[in-house]
Amino acid sequence: MATGPWDRLQGRHGLPTADADGTPGLPGGQDLWDSAAGVVVLDADLRYRYANPAFCRITGESEAGVAGRLPSPAAEQCLGTSTGLPAEVLADGVPRTRVTGPGGRCHTTCLRLENEGTVTGLMCVVAESSAPRLEEELARADARLAVPLTGPPDGGGPGGTVLGLTLLARTGAAFTGHDITVARHAARRAAVGVVHARAFAAEQGKSVELQRALLTEPGKPHPNLRFATRYLPAGSSNIVGGDWFETVRLHYGRTLLVMGDVMGHGVEAAVEMNTYRAMLRDVAAADLPPHRVLRQLDIAISETMARPATCLLVRVDPARGLGSFSSAGHLPPVVFTADGHAELVDVPAGPPLGTGVGGYELVTRSLTPDDTLLLYTDGLVERRGEDIDDSLLRLVRVRLPCTATVDEMVDSVVRELDAEHAEDDVALLAARFRPRRAHPAEEQPFLGGPR
């Protein structure tokens, strides 16, 4: 099959740089060698494979020994490496053009090179701006702005969507040409900021709605249990997470409480969170002890190659006044007692779900209608740079009024630990036994003796 210059541009082994005698090794390369625009070829590691004299002149690179080197800091300004242009094109293959270089004096275009599906590198063309005076004027305009709104260099320019008007007025002398340049430049930057703010708000709204759609209300527990739940997305972030909770009705008035956290963030973590919930419902339907539920779930998840997740199960039995606990790498639950004090439940933390290792233990303790059980994800307590023991200590130091409802207690915990401003998503589930009403026959006084 015949090959031409562009076939060799796609070569698996990249392109040769200039030979020792200065002759370029690029096919048909005399035109590129003599081009007034800088032409450079980088391999997949972003090291030089070819550079013409114009590129060396524009970037200040030395023509000698350029092969195999990484671009110098001065060349990076023109290639846009500091803004990620070559890395972005290398990653997705979409050609891009950006304003680069000191004062925006260059326009750089990058194209990805491939050979039979294998990415071999990049070809970049660096052209000096045809209007250096305008770029210098804009640089001076930047110095006169207070806090300029920055954005992509190619956004908010002429021909874009009209977002509104900027009205300037002053008394005295008329506006000079320099003043008008400053105003136009500031308006373009403000427009870019508005576009980005609107896009961010839209994406954030979609992300939160997705999380809420996946994290639907848990199943209803038995009427003998009062419970409350909360889900707080992390600050103003539009990144969804994998925090989840669930309640499953069991036989004989018992309820299984579940709190889980899929590792990582993003839509994938949120979708896999929903997979965990669906599998758990199926396994829990067999009414196995919590540690055996975790074992079955661990086996099922490990076969799907889903991300690992921590999980805490508590099977509450109001009739017997018992709680049975088992943990897959999750933080321990807390019990708020009748006097409002808190204590951690010592539950051995087995491996996270999805590892296939197993080894989960069961812990049982008594619970009364005056106790409130709290399950939570790590976003509630963990803080950057703080030891986890100190984080848990802050939680057990919380004092809650004994007369508070379950919802009020959850709100108090959120407020006391400032969960609204946590760095990670926060999920909480609180439960308390509903006091059992005496049967009318038990309240009937005994009036007579034996017959």
The order of strands in the sheet holding 225-232 is 225-232, 426-433, 372-376, 334-336, 342-344
Q: At a CB cut-off of 8 Å and minimum separation 6, what does 15 contact?
A: 8, 9, 25, 26, 41, 49, 50, 121
| pLDDT score, position 221 | 85
**Lowest-confidence segment of 127-136, 214-223, 394-403 by average pLDDT:** 127-136
pLDDT, tens only, 311-365? 999 999 999 999 999 999 999 999 999 888 899 999 999 999 988 888 999 999 9
Overall average pLDDT of the 285-301 stretch: 94
| pLDDT score, position 167 | 66
Contact 361, 291 (CB under 8 A): yes
Amino acid at 30: Q
Amino acid at 343: E
Give ∠ CA 352-420-377 in degrees, rounded to 5. 15
| pLDDT score, position 247 | 93
| pLDDT score, position 137 | 55
| pLDDT score, position 370 | 92
| pLDDT score, position 451 | 40
Backbone angles phi, psi at 60, to 5 degrees: 80, 10
| pLDDT score, position 257 | 96
Residue 16: pLDDT over 70? no
Residue 155: pLDDT over 50? no
Helix extents (H) in 13-84: 29-33, 53-59, 73-79
Contact 238, 197 (CB under 8 A): no
Mean pLDDT across the chain: 78
Decide which of 238 and 195 is more confident. Answer: 195
Element (H, E) at 392: helix 388-396
Residue 115: pLDDT over 70? yes
* Portion of the chain with pLDDT greater than 70, in percent: 73
pLDDT, tens only, 370-414? 999 999 999 999 988 888 899 999 999 998 887 889 999 999 999
Residue 105: pLDDT over 80? no
pLDDT, tens only, 70-95? 888 888 888 876 558 888 888 888 88
Contact 113, 93 (CB under 8 A): no
**Lowest-confidence segment of 35-44, 94-103, 232-241 by average pLDDT:** 232-241
Distance between alpha carbon 191 and the CA centroid of its chain, in Å? 26
Give ∠ CA 364-366-369 in degrees, rounded to 5. 140
| pLDDT score, position 148 | 38
Overall average pLDDT of the 188-194 stretch: 73
Decide which of 125 and 445 is more confident. Answer: 125
Amino acid at 273: M
Amino acid at 34: D
Q: Give residue for tokens 């590792």.
A: 263
| pLDDT score, position 403 | 83
| pLDDT score, position 358 | 86
| pLDDT score, position 296 | 94
Decide which of 360 and 146 is more confident. Answer: 360
